[in-house]
Structure formats: structure tokens, C-alpha cells
Structure 1
Amino acid sequence: MTTTTATSLPAAPARPLGVYLRLAATAMFWGGTFIAGRTVAHVLPPIVAALLRFGVAAALLLLIVWRKEGGLPRLSRQQVLATAALGLTGIFLYNLCFFGALGRIPAGRAALFIALNPIVTALAAALFLRERLSGRKWAGIALAFFGAAIVITRGDFAGAVHDISQSLGTGELLMLGAISSWAVYTLVGRRALTQLSPVAATTYAALWGLLFLAVGAVPQLGQIDWTQVGWTAYASVGYLGAFGTVIGFVWYYEGVKALGASRAAVFNNLVPVFGVTFAALLLGEPVLLSMVLGGAVAVAGVTLTNR
């Protein structure tokens, strides 16, 4: 997933049905990133996988921003620092945690964690930006975390209390790190980049993130036997960069422009649904009752919070 909170996109409004279909397709693309990410995570180190993903994404974003806006705008000093922060949090740190988690836990299980993104962001906004949360929002947050607890513990709360390591391992902690990184990314974009279009802000963030990833990946690039990286990994990288990042981003903000942020954000609740479904169909992962129940409760909490 790649998104900012800037307010304008130079795309013509689409017909309502087309907007709904694109938003549903965007949720499908983002759900598919967990399957593609798990495929890549088993053959490439996380930082190299992220580097390849955003190499594809940055190239496509530069093409789009050139065609839609005539190129990237010049940045003020504050915007340089803000876009660098976006690249560090939403690109570099998020993707290290994302690929690291997918190398350790099933794709469907990882996808369900994403339902907590808006909840953690709302809590961070309340804590750091002093945004007030109503009683209804607090109830939604509590409900979402209860749903997440069902997923994390696989419904065995007593076992988790006795031995938390049964439920919360390195993969789960990395997904929590990914969610936290995304919350910071969202808040930085909301406050610091209101003068940039979403496509320009995201392009700058992708370029910064690509730079950070390249610096970290250089020592590992020479250690990889590229002849052993199969076509499925390369296809997955292409999917992650093109569909999971660029096309999903453009279509999502067309939806935001046509329907408003709140109505468009409702479609994000479909991401874990698609993620779990694809994991079962394409990777043969089991769908546990705790995943279905916990995921439904978490989505209900998110819906209540964002209502």
C-alpha cells in the first residue's frame, strides 16, 4: 500500500460505478501484495526485495507525474525534510518490516494485521497531534484491537497469557512495526505536504525510499545468486511495484477525489478479505475460524471508528 493525505489529484472524475469498481480493484491489488510479498520474501532478503519493488514503482511514478503534472515541483526546505521522512517511514521501514514478516508468518495472517492501520493512525494522531477521539471512536478502537487479539492468539487467550511467544513471534512484531511506520508516514503526509499533489508527494517519497534502500542493499546485492531467482519472484516484484503501488495509488486517489476520503477509505476494509482469500486459494494456507471471526470484529471496529 502507498498513500498520502494531500488533497488534490489532476485526474478527471470518473463515473460512480467506475469509481467503485476501481476502488474494489485497488483493495484486491493491495490484498494481492501479501501473496506476492511472501513469494519474494522466500528468495530475496527483505531490503533487496523492497529495493526492486520501488525501483519499478519509482520509474512508473516519474512517468505519471511527468505526463499529468509536467514533472516534479521544486520543494521548500520543509518539504524536502518531510518527503525524506515519508521515504524513511512509509517506504524504507514499512517495507523492511513487511517483507521480513512475510518471510516468517503466513500471508493471510499478515494481511489481517493491516486492518489495524487506521486504528493505530488514529491513536497516534490523538497522542502526538492532540486530535480528539469521541466515545464512539474509542469503542471502535477497542473493538478493532479485540478482533486483532483473536487473530494474534488464534482464539486461545489463556494460552497466550501462559506463553505469549506462542502467539506473538518475530513475524507478528514486524507486522506491528510495519503498521506503526505507516501511521507515522500518514501523519507526516497529513501535516507537512498539503501543498503537494498526492502523486508528486508519493513520487518524492518513493525516490527517497529508493535511495535509503539502495544504500542498505548494496552489501547484499553481490551475495545473491540471481540465476536461482525464478520468474515467479520477478513477476511478483513487477506486481508489487506496478499494481500494488502505482496503479493502486492512482485509482485510490481518483476514488478520494470523486467520493471523498471517508467513503473511499471504506474499501480498505476489503484488503484483509482479499489477502486471506488469495492466501488460501494461491498458497494453500488454511483459513482458521479465529481468522474469520477476529478479522470480522476488527473490520467492524475500523468501520465504527471511521464512520
Structure 2
Amino acid sequence: METMKQAPLSVYAKLVCVALFWGGTFIAGRIVSTEIPHMIAAAGRFLVACVFLLLLAWRVEGGLPKLSRQQLQATFGLGATGIFLYNICFLAALERMPAGRSALFVSLSPIVTALSMAILFRERLGAIKWLGIAIAFLGAAVVITRGDLFSVVHDISSSMGAGELFMLGAVGSWTAYTILGKHALKGLSPIAATTYASLWGLALLCMGAVNQLPLLDTSKLTWQVVSAIVFLGIFGTVIGFVWYYEGVKAIGPARTAVFNNLVPVFGVTLSSLMLKEPVLISMIVGGLLVIAGVSLTNRSTSND
């Protein structure tokens, strides 16, 4: 096994940039979601992403392989969950709640995935993993309730608005995507799997986008909105994916996953700097608890 000293510094620099790009998707998503219909915005993102993914697949692997029936079903499942459903929930949430709070929700994805694997596939969770899960969910509760945990006892609707529910839907969609990718795909490279999933997702999004065309106000397609869509497609999807898997190859999945903890940090920071969103104490405390819980769970996973 390669040690951290053997990996070049550029690998770590790229992983920090990936976290920055993914944190930036919340700001770009917020800009887009408040101006144009969600299906059209998401379709635009993955139209850009698919063009570059197809070019990448052709250059690196000589094109896309022919899929078996099982791979066809699996990649459709990936596209339906991680591309179609995730982006609908993601943009719907960002229309209704601040980008910084949304970024903290997404950091729960590894915890929900670990819990789902234990329930669905009976994967063993040791005491340290359970502790990490409990800490992460406590942090999420602090963020959701804005520090007033007891308000949930009296009236959960006072804390859980439509934005929060959509964000939880996004977490659930990404969890399904992660589990499908781990268990359903065989014989496909990460580039091929992601490209096929993105193509399926784009097809589903385009069907919804056609119905939303009458709602599109072309005057709102400003350079800021178009730039945000391009950022989501190129940096938030293609470059983020390529560099992330370079990290997985160089230092392993467990160490690479640690860099995901920087995503909510960048998301909250950028939302404050670029969108002038307030940073609440509950967001800082809850975010730190979530990151600590995720780190504890990942550390336990890598030691099992």
C-alpha cells in the first residue's frame, strides 16, 4: 500500500481544489435556481458535462464500451438517482434555503450511506462507527434547528421547511447512487460509468426541461447564470470527478474521502463571501460536529 509520503503534493492540491469546486456548486446552484426552472438548469449542467465526459472517455479510454443488460440497468439507476433526482432536489432546496446551510446537509451523505449499508446489506458497524454516526446526526440536528434542539419536540415544522426536506431528498438520492455504484456495476471504469450515468440523467432531465420551456424567461439567462451552469458542468462535475479519482488511485479511497470534509467549509465560506449570507453560530457548531462524526466513521472504516 502506498503511503502518504509517496504521493506527490499535486495530488493533495487537486483534492483541495475538488472540495473548493464542490463547495462552489452550492453558490452556482443558488444563482441558477433562483433565475431559471430547475429542470432546464440541471439539463444545461449535464449537457455541458456530457460533452466533456465523452471527450474524456474517447481520449483516455478510446471511447465507451458496449453495455451488458445488467450494466444498462445499473447505469440507468445511477443516472436516475445521482443525476436526475439529486439535481432536482439540490436546485429545489437552493431556491428555498441559503447555500451555506445546504452545504452542511450534504456532508451527511457518507453517514447516511454507512447506515443504509448496515440496514440493507447487514454490513457490520462497530462502536466507533456508531459513535461517529450519532455525532454527525447531532450536528445535523443543530444545523436544522438553528441551535434550538428542543423546538423539534414541540413543532418539527418550525425547523423543517421545504428547503430542508428537498436537501434531505438530495442526500437520499446520493446515497442510492453511491450504493448502486458500489454493488451494481461490474466491469466498467469510473469514467465509463459516470459518462453513461450522466447521459441517462441528461435524457431524463431533458424530458422534464421540455415541459418547463414555457416557464423560461430568456432575459434571465445573464452571463452570471450561464457562467454558473458552465461551472457546474465543467468544474463541479468533470474536473471534480477526474481529480477525485486521481486521489483515490494515488492515496486510496479512505484518505481521499477525508477531503470531502472540506466541502461544507468551502460552501459556507463562499456563500458568506459571495452571496453575503450570514454564518450562524449553530452552523459552525453543527458543521464541526458533522465533520467530526464523518471523520470518525471514515477512520473506523479504514481501520476495519
Fold shared by both chains (TM-score > 0.5): yes
For residues 93-138 of structure 1, what are the alpha-carbon distances to aligned partners after superposition, in whole Å with 9 as ceiling and x for unaligned? Answer: 0000000000000000000001100000011111112211111101
User: Is 1:227 aligned to residue 219 of structure 2?
Assistant: yes
Whole-Å separation in 2 of the counterparts to 1:41 and 1:168: 20
3-state DSSP class of the match of 1:103?
Answer: helix
Whole-Å separation in 1 of the counterparts to 2:209 and 2:276: 31
Whole-Å separation in 2 of the counterparts to 1:190 and 1:62: 22
Whole-Å separation in 2 of the counterparts to 1:265 and 1:195: 23
Q: How is 1:179-218 mapped onto 2 (pairs within 5 angstroms)?
A: 179-218=171-210
3-state DSSP class of the match of 1:196?
Answer: coil
Question: What displacement does 1:216 show?
Answer: 1.3
User: Is 1:145 aligned to residue 132 of structure 2?
Assistant: no
User: Is 1:168 aligned to residue 160 of structure 2?
Assistant: yes
Question: What displacement does 1:159 show?
Answer: 2.4
User: Is 1:154 aligned to residue 146 of structure 2?
Assistant: yes
Q: Which amino acid aligns with 1:109?
A: R
Query: Hey, what does 2:126 align to over in structure 1?
Result: 134
Query: Hey, what does 1:297 align to over in structure 2?
Result: 289
Whole-Å separation in 1 of the counterparts to 2:50 and 2:122: 34
Q: How is 1:12-31 mapped onto 2 (pairs within 5 angstroms)?
A: 15-31=7-23
Are the aligned partners of 2:18 and 2:243 in contact in 1 as well (CA < 8 Å)? yes
Q: Pick from 249, 254, 265 the counterpart of residue 262 of structure 1.
A: 254
For residues 25-48 of structure 1, what are the alpha-carbon distances to aligned partners after superposition, in whole Å with 9 as ceiling and x for unaligned? Answer: 000000000000000000111111
Are the aligned partners of 2:89 and 2:170 in contact in 1 as well (CA < 8 Å)? yes
Q: Pick from 267, 276, 279 the counterpart of residue 268 of structure 2.
A: 276
Are the aligned partners of 2:93 and 2:167 in contact in 1 as well (CA < 8 Å)? yes
User: Is 1:49 aligned to residue 41 of structure 2?
Assistant: yes
Whole-Å separation in 2 of the counterparts to 1:176 and 1:299: 17
How many aligned positions are there?
294
Question: What displacement does 1:82 show?
Answer: 0.2
Question: What displacement does 1:157 show?
Answer: 1.4
- TM-score, L = length of structure 1: 0.94
3-state DSSP class of the match of 1:249?
Answer: helix
Whole-Å separation in 2 of the counterparts to 1:297 and 1:222: 44
Q: Which amino acid aligns with 1:200?
A: A
Whole-Å separation in 2 of the counterparts to 1:152 and 1:227: 35
Q: Pick from 86, 103, 111 the counterpart of residue 111 of structure 1.
A: 103
Question: What displacement does 1:15 show?
Answer: 4.8
For residues 199-255 of structure 1, what are the alpha-carbon distances to aligned partners after superposition, in whole Å with 9 as ceiling and x for unaligned? Answer: 110000000000001111111123312133211000000000000000000000000
Relative to structure 1, is the Cα distance of residues 132 and 15 closer, same or farther in structure 2, using a 3 angstrom cutoff? closer
Query: Hey, what does 1:79 align to over in structure 2?
Result: 71
**Greater than 3 Å deviation, 4+ residue runs:** none
Q: Percent identity?
A: 62
Whole-Å separation in 2 of the counterparts to 1:287 and 1:32: 16
Q: Which amino acid aligns with 1:242?
A: I
Question: What displacement does 1:77 show?
Answer: 0.3
Structure 1: segments with no counterpart, 5+ residues: 1-13
Question: What displacement does 1:290 show?
Answer: 0.4
Whole-Å separation in 2 of the counterparts to 1:56 and 1:33: 15
Query: Hey, what does 2:240 align to over in structure 1?
Result: 248
